[in-house]
Amino acid sequence: MTYVAKGWLIKKREHGKIIFLDMRTIDQPWIPLQVVIKKQEVDEITWENAKKLRQEASFIAEGELIQNPRAPGGRELRGKQIIIVHNPEEPWPLGKKSHPPEVLMKYRHLSVRGQKFIKIWIVREKLIHYLREWFEKNHWHEVSPPIFVMTACEGGATLFRVKWFEEKIPVYLTQSAQLYLEALCFALGRVWCLAPSFRAEKSRTRRHLAEYWHLEAEAAFFNFEDNLRVQEELVIYAIKKLLNDDVTGELIKEIRGNVDDLDEIKAPLPRVTYTEAMEILQRKNFKIKWGDDLGADEEKALSEEIGTAFFLTHFPTEIKSFYVKLDPNDPRVCLAADLIVPHVGEIIGGSERETDVNELIKRIKAQGFDPTNYEWYLDLRRFGSVPHSGFGLGIDRFLMYILKLEHIRDTLPFPRLARVKYFI
């Protein structure tokens, strides 16, 4: 079959009268295409062109596509013609050897073409595709929330202030679309969105970004347990679809190695209350008392003990945001749950929402905010309020878990990390 491949040179090997070109093609960028050029079989221009190609040169190769089990992807192109589109004058700045993360960040605009990164971008794309597919199949409505906001959702400490024209009004980048989804779920019933969220987290950790992709969902007539069921169904659906997909199934194995733990995950996921978690941690000699928030180390110890993804539920009300509903059976705790996974920790935060206006006003004040800024949000409880629940899934953290990546910066092409002085 005659085939025209368009792409870039990954690597060239010259063996006398044969040249092998490993090409990244626009059709299947995740599998290098081996192009074989034999001196006797091509004209002089093509032979000279093949010899001239430098790393990341762009070119078009035409020839016969044949099966070759020893070539990557099981196929190779017996090249008949090579047309150079652009041959770089300078050597590829990233060379052939591996580089430290700072160098890779400075050259991110180029390192996004690396073979490992391309595989990650493909899995990321498909992950979002399957998550969206779940919502479509289950008749949830996709909505578009704002990014500029005037109210905090997750406490004031991590808000990014922005200059709003010449005004001195407080405008911020959104931490979460939740409050808007609450308004919209009373319009449409079940809503979801995928949008960036922004957190001015000062700490530099392997799982914090200043800008991350947040998948959020909110549903009317939904209680705490309904909410957990949707989360586990959604997360497990996306994992199974990725593993069963011909392309991503292979890519995940290549990047992560063993996938048994992903394969075995099934609903219902274990539910562990905060109080039970405290007992586990105290048994493991953590210096922690009831009421303390849990950090990465605590989450890691818990997931090692439980051995699979699980929901951590019923947190003390004080450590969660103002909107969570109090547990009617024990008002010291609230109807909030985090989904904790091995290797990463929390990937989802969700809850049933408080519907009592006075309780909300009290809690908004207790968190240091002015309830008058939340009048619109309180109105949602004044006009046709119903029990409702929702959650937020960090796409980047979810991908970190699926691919077992060491650092969240490698889950997306242009990561925004705290305290970095320069980014492209």
Judged by the rule CB under 6 A, the positions of this chain that interact with ligand NSS are 153-154, 176, 178, 199, 201, 208-209, 212, 214, 216, 346-350, 390-392, 394, 396-397
CA-CA distance, 154 to 378, in Å (whole number)? 16
Across-strand partners of 77? 35, 65
Residues ≥6 apart with Cβ < 8 Å to 130: 237, 238, 241, 242
Q: Name the minimum Å distance from CB 320 to ligand NSS.
A: 9
Q: What are phi and psi of 66, to 5 degrees?
A: -130, 160
CB of 403 to ligand NSS, least distance (A): 15
Q: Tell the smallest beta-carbon distance from residue 242 to ligand NSS (Å).
A: 18
- The one-letter amino acid at 307: G
* SS3 of the chain: helix, strand, coil, percent, to 5: 35, 30, 35
Please, which residue, 8 or 323, has the CB nearer to ligand NSS?
Answer: 323
Q: How far is the CB of 197 from ligand NSS (least distance, A)?
A: 7
Q: Closer to ligand NSS at the Cβ: 82 or 184?
A: 184
Quick one: 20 or 198, whose CB is closer to ligand NSS? 198
Q: β-strands 326-327, 330-334: how paired?
A: antiparallel
Q: Are 380 and 183 in contact (CB under 8 A)?
A: yes
Q: Are 265 and 308 in contact (CB under 8 A)?
A: yes
Amino acid, single-letter form, for residue 348: I
Q: Where are the beta strands (DSSP E) in 68-198?
A: 75-86, 141-142, 148-149, 160-162, 171-173, 190-198
Q: How far is the CB of 389 from ligand NSS (least distance, A)?
A: 8
Cβ closest to ligand NSS, residue 57 vs residue 181: 181
Please, what is the minimum distance in Å from the beta carbon of residue 212 to ligand NSS? 4
Complex with ligand NSS: residue 8 or 322, whichever CB lies closer: 322
Q: Which is nearer to ligand NSS, 12 or 208 (CB)?
A: 208
